[in-house]
Amino acid sequence: MSLSVQFELSKEYLEKLKLAIEQDDGAFVRETMEGVNPADISAVLEAFNAEESKYVLDQLDTWVGAQIISDLDNDTRKEFLKVFGPEEIAKYIAIIDSDDGADILNELPVKDREKIIAGLDHEEKVSYLLDLLRYEEDTAGGLMAKELIKANINWTVIQCIDEIRRQAGNVEKIYSMYVVDDRDKLLGRVSLKKIILSDDATRIADIYSDDIISVQTFMEDTEVASLMQKYDLVAVPVVNLQGKLVGRITIDDIVDVITESAEQERQIMSGISEDVEEDDNLWVLTRARLPWLIFGLFGGLLGAKVIGFFEADIRRITEIALFIPLIMATGGNVGIQSSSIIVQSLASRSVFEETTLRRLFKVLIVALVNGLVLGIVVLGISYWILEWENLKFAVVVSIALFCVVLLASFMGTATPLLLNRFNINPALASGPFITTANDILGLGVYLVVVRLFYTI
């Protein structure tokens, strides 16, 4: 097995490394990192500050350094690159794949960006980067790399092999060659397997497959992800409006898109308003958390207002206060369950979508069943087990609970559908928003039901 797997990070090693950096012991850095996978070194560097990391990078091969920089977490990299001069960054950018290169440039101030591009003497790379900088980050254009291997339809196999040889240094991972016409229009692809198994003189036109799935530059990254997932692709060619081949997206970038959007959804569901991690500083953590907390606070104050309208009832029947938590909690739980099921079904958009009416009807039935069961359970427990003398009030609570379950199911279903219609992320409906809205509505329903029964 290789060194890269055996490389185990220990606290001890980190301490030794820190000491070596302090004492300017470059030999230690070089020796212990020899043959280690760059992704592992990136992980180590997350624990060091920018100057220390730069010291480590300066000891290593430029190629290794370039991989490490591509691998670094965006936030870390931003800090990290501040201690580098534009010429130094240019040295790495020249080696890094164009998609990662463009990402790095996008993270830098415009002034630095121009200096770096001016400092690149690799003409092809410059044109790649300038092209990529034009695209929005979350589109196929923003994800793709310009490095790919293409073959003209009129070539023979031996010409393809020559092209692979010529590009071997630029394109690290080759899965297949894209076949284009004289105007670079994408026609199909030919797998390396086919190239290996065909005679040198075979014409590409005779062996290529025109059954190729491609995406357009403006396609959203999450759409590219579901497409690649659906068709089990490891790479997908990107074409412009004229059908010209302009880049290639590989699955590793798509895996990152999938992971990030899952993370983002968790944050939305938890009422965290910006992308934070546990190790962010206090200010960032607080800033990400306060907005929804304050929103919830206003919800709570509105709830106080609602209860205030019924203060006289509560004075008369103190039991009303007892069941406020029950009503709120159940409303919240039902709402989140409902919205979560809808959000999931919106995400895995099936071809055979149910109509909104049918959806709501089904939700209604499930809500009726849930509401009935919960109502009966509450009635049973409060009457038999808690041996509650006030049967009438137990019945009223059950009825109110039933209504709240229906309402929360409806809200939990309708809100994500509505958000989705307006192109807002429907996951927002599984967050504090729905809970707060359900809290207030649920309270209102509860108190109105109570009053109805006690004034009739």
Taking the C-alpha atoms of residue 202 and residue 384, their distance in angstroms, rounded to an integer, is 86
Q: Considering the rule CB under 8 A, would residue 199 count as an interface residue with a copy of itself?
A: no
CB of 112 to a copy of itself, least distance (A): 27
- Size of interface with a copy of itself, in residues (CB under 8 A): 130
Using the Cα atoms of residue 269, residue 271, residue 276 and residue 278 in order, give the sign of their dihedral.
Answer: negative
Q: Is residue 391 within the footprint of a copy of itself (CB under 8 A)? A: no
Count CB-CB contacts under 10 A for residue 430. Answer: 26
- Distance in Å, CB of 188 to a copy of itself, minimum: 8
Read off the amino acid at residue 55. Answer: Y
Encoding tokens for residue 248? 């290639």
DSSP classification of residue 135: S
Integer Cα distance of 78 and 123 in angstroms: 26
Gap between the Cα atoms of 278 and 121, Å rounded? 41
Q: How far is the CB of 33 from a copy of itself (least distance, A)?
A: 14
Of residues 87-126, which lie at the interface with a copy of itself (CB under 8 A)? none
Q: Work out how close the CB of 130 gets to a copy of itself at its nearest, in angstroms, rounded to a whole number.
A: 25
Can you tell me the distance from the alpha carbon of 62 to that of 412, in angstroms, rounded to the nearest whole number? 53
* Position 318 contacts a copy of itself (CB under 8 A): yes
By CB under 8 A, residue 321 contacts a copy of itself: yes
395 touching a copy of itself, by CB under 8 A: no
* Owner of token pair 């995400």: 347
Comparing CB distances to a copy of itself, the nearer of 27 and 322 is 322
CA of residue 20 relative to chain centroid, distance: 37
* Phi, psi dihedral angles at 112 (to 5 degrees): -60, -40
Q: How far is the CB of 174 from a copy of itself (least distance, A)?
A: 5
Binder among 86, 101, 141, 299 for a copy of itself (CB under 8 A):
299
Distance CA(139)–CA(257), nearest Å, equals 11
Taking the least distance from each CB to a copy of itself, the nearer of 139 and 250 is: 250
Give 333 or 425: the residue with its C-beta nearer to a copy of itself. 333
Cβ nearer to a copy of itself, comparing 84 with 446: 446
Which 365-384 residues touch a copy of itself, going by CB under 8 A?
365-366, 369-370, 373-374, 377-378, 381-382
Q: Give Cβ neighbours of residue 135 (< 8 Å, ≥ 6 apart).
A: 141, 142, 217
Identify the residue among 32, 222, 240, 340 touching a copy of itself (CB under 8 A): 340
d(CA 9, CA 30): 16
**Binding to a copy of itself, residues 27-86 (CB under 8 A):** 35, 37, 39, 43-44, 46-47
Residue 246, token pair as written in the block: 């302009």
Can you tell me which residue has the tokens 């279903």? 413
**418 contacts a copy of itself (rule: CB under 8 A):** no
Residue 350 found at the interface with a copy of itself (CB under 8 A): yes
Per-residue DSSP letter, 244: B
CB of 325 to a copy of itself, least distance (A): 3
Among 153, 341, 360, 448, binds a copy of itself (CB under 8 A): 341
Which residue, 415 or 436, has its beta carbon nearer to a copy of itself?
A: 436
| Residue number, 116 or 436, with CB nearest to a copy of itself | 436
Please give the DSSP secondary-structure letter assigned to residue 47.
T
Binding mask 139-178 for a copy of itself (x = CB under 8 A): ----------------------x--xx--x----xxx---
Torsion of CA 284, 286, 288, 292, to 10 degrees: -170
According to CB under 8 A, which one of 206, 325, 387, 423 is a site residue for a copy of itself?
A: 325
The length of the chain in residues reads 456
